Amino acid sequence: MNRNKRNILRMLTIILLMAGCQLGNRITYMNLAEMYEPEKKLAIDGIRIFNENDSISKVFVLYNLSYLLYEKPLKSKFFEANYSFSYSLFSSYESNEVIDSATFFLSDSLNFRKNIQLLFDFEVNAASHADYLLEIEFNDLNRNTSYLIPKNVNKTSFSSPQNFLPVDKNDQVIFTDWFGKNEQIRILCKDKMLDTLYVRFYRREFPIAIPPYSLKPTPSYEYAADDIFSMQVSDGVSEILEYPEKGFFHFQSEPSVQDGLTLFQFAADYPEITDPKQLVPPLRYLTTNTEFKKLIHAPDPKAAVDSFWIETAGNEERAVELIRDYYSRVEDANWYFTSFKEGWKTDRGMTYIVMGKPQTVFRSGEIETWIYGEQGNRVSLTFDFVKAVNPFTDNDYILRRRPEFKSPWFIAVDYWRR
């Protein structure tokens, strides 16, 4: 393809992308299953939103160049990636009116075949006292492919989680909701006049998800903290947090409210599974009460887990394959579904681990629907996860459990056990 044709095609792509920014809300009728494809984690490694003031919110996007296709233009000595970020802001999932939108075009010819993360940030015009839907689209222009990500911009109150920005000791944005045991962090605050941050600390362990066919009631939240302390703030920047215990921290501008920023401190290498003791708990989804009790009390957790998988698989080669697949799903569940507890313990985490990635995912303001099998087929399986009102996270979804899930659930469990 000559240069003129390539440029014409690229201009057409740009025009279509810019026109796409004027379209209405696409999220409510799009299949968002790619959000839970592990390969897509190479594209966007993290998104963090910070309300800089009452009219502007800043969006930080951490992305990986290894996801992009590099091509060598005619008569050029270098391979080049061409890509863009687009965003559209809506008042809600149900709205089709675009409040704000923009497209940013970028290119790179210096990092071909390099596994490098870059940070891109942009400002969104969002007024206070509202909760918005932000559609972020990452486009690989050389491939003509895109990746659409929905995010909420929360400006409902002065204690909104997005009124706080966690950074490390080098003032680099922390994109995950968890941090390491020995990691030093500080909090940037929207309110530059704030002089004190109040921190509620919780050191409790939460139970894992119950089976999807069980109709037991969901436990209610206990807001009473195990410890409360304060951090000094100067010109919108807190002092460094130093607290050695594992648990989670709820940062608030006032102790009388429930809203605030929550950060978690789980196992050392979270979301990865690196300690043999971490191998046993996720097996609860596959084991009987007797089997699990035996695993929990085994003197050598690694040997007990290996023995379980070899006995289950029938041979060592198949066991290695099952172990790799199962614990990869556990780690992915941690990445995608961490809420007020580890991702593998949540309803969506449990379903993802045992059933795998759904073929179809729809999301509205309050419900995320997963479909296994062909949509509309009478033998397909549909799970509805309802967004919980949870002051610690906006990533907590509760499964609508149904007795008829029992048969397909045990079929999925039997897959792992045969």
Over residues 136-174, the pLDDT tens digits come to 999 999 999 998 999 999 999 888 999 999 999 999 999
- Measured CA to CA, the distance from residue 112 to residue 126 in angstroms comes to 36
Burial 270-292 (b: 16+ CB within 10 A, else e): bbebeeeebbbbbbbbbbeeeeb
Say if residue 304 is in the same domain as residue 248.
no
Say if residue 35 is in the same domain as residue 142.
yes
pLDDT at 20 over 60: no
Question: Residue 336 is which amino acid?
Answer: Y
Last residue of a domain, one of 218, 233, 265: 265
Say if residue 53 is in the same domain as residue 120.
yes
Residue 271 lies in a domain: no
CATH number of the domain enclosing 100: 2.60.40.2150
The pLDDT tens digits for 171-227 are 999 999 999 878 899 999 999 999 999 999 998 888 999 999 998 887 777 778 999
Say if residue 314 is in the same domain as residue 353.
yes
Say if residue 113 is in the same domain as residue 177.
no
Last residue of a domain, one of 155, 172, 194: 155
Beta bridge partners of 48: 60
User: In sequence order, which residues have a C-beta less than 8 Å from that of residue 368 and are 6 or more positions away?
Assistant: 348, 361, 362, 384, 385, 387, 397
Say if residue 137 is in the same domain as residue 170.
no
pLDDT at 365 over 90: no
406 Ramachandran zone, left/alpha/beta (phi>0; psi -120 to 50): alpha
Burial 103-132 (b: 16+ CB within 10 A, else e): beeeebeeeeeeeeeeeeeeebebeeeebb
The pTM of the full predicted model, rounded to 2 decimals, is 0.89
What's residue 72's pLDDT? 92
Say if residue 8 is in the same domain as residue 132.
yes
pLDDT at 101 over 60: yes
Say if residue 258 is in the same domain as residue 282.
no
User: In sequence order, which residues have a C-beta less than 8 Å from that of residue 80 and are 6 or more positions away?
Assistant: 70, 71, 72, 73, 107, 108, 109
Say if residue 108 is in the same domain as residue 17.
yes
What's residue 23's pLDDT? 54
With a pLDDT cut of 70, the percent of the chain lying above it is 94
Chain CA centroid to CA 382, Å? 21
Say if residue 181 is in the same domain as residue 222.
yes
- Measured CA to CA, the distance from residue 116 to residue 80 in angstroms comes to 15
The pLDDT tens digits for 231-255 are 999 999 999 998 878 899 999 998 8
Residue 270 lies in a domain: no
Say if residue 136 is in the same domain as residue 14.
yes
> To the nearest whole number, what is the mean pLDDT of the chain?
90
- Structural domain including 364 reads 276-417
Last residue of a domain, one of 121, 155, 189: 155
Say if residue 261 is in the same domain as residue 382.
no
The pLDDT tens digits for 22-47 are 456 778 788 999 999 987 776 898 99
Number of domains in the chain: 3
Pairing mode, strands 360-363 and 56-64: unpaired
Residue 320 lies in a domain: yes
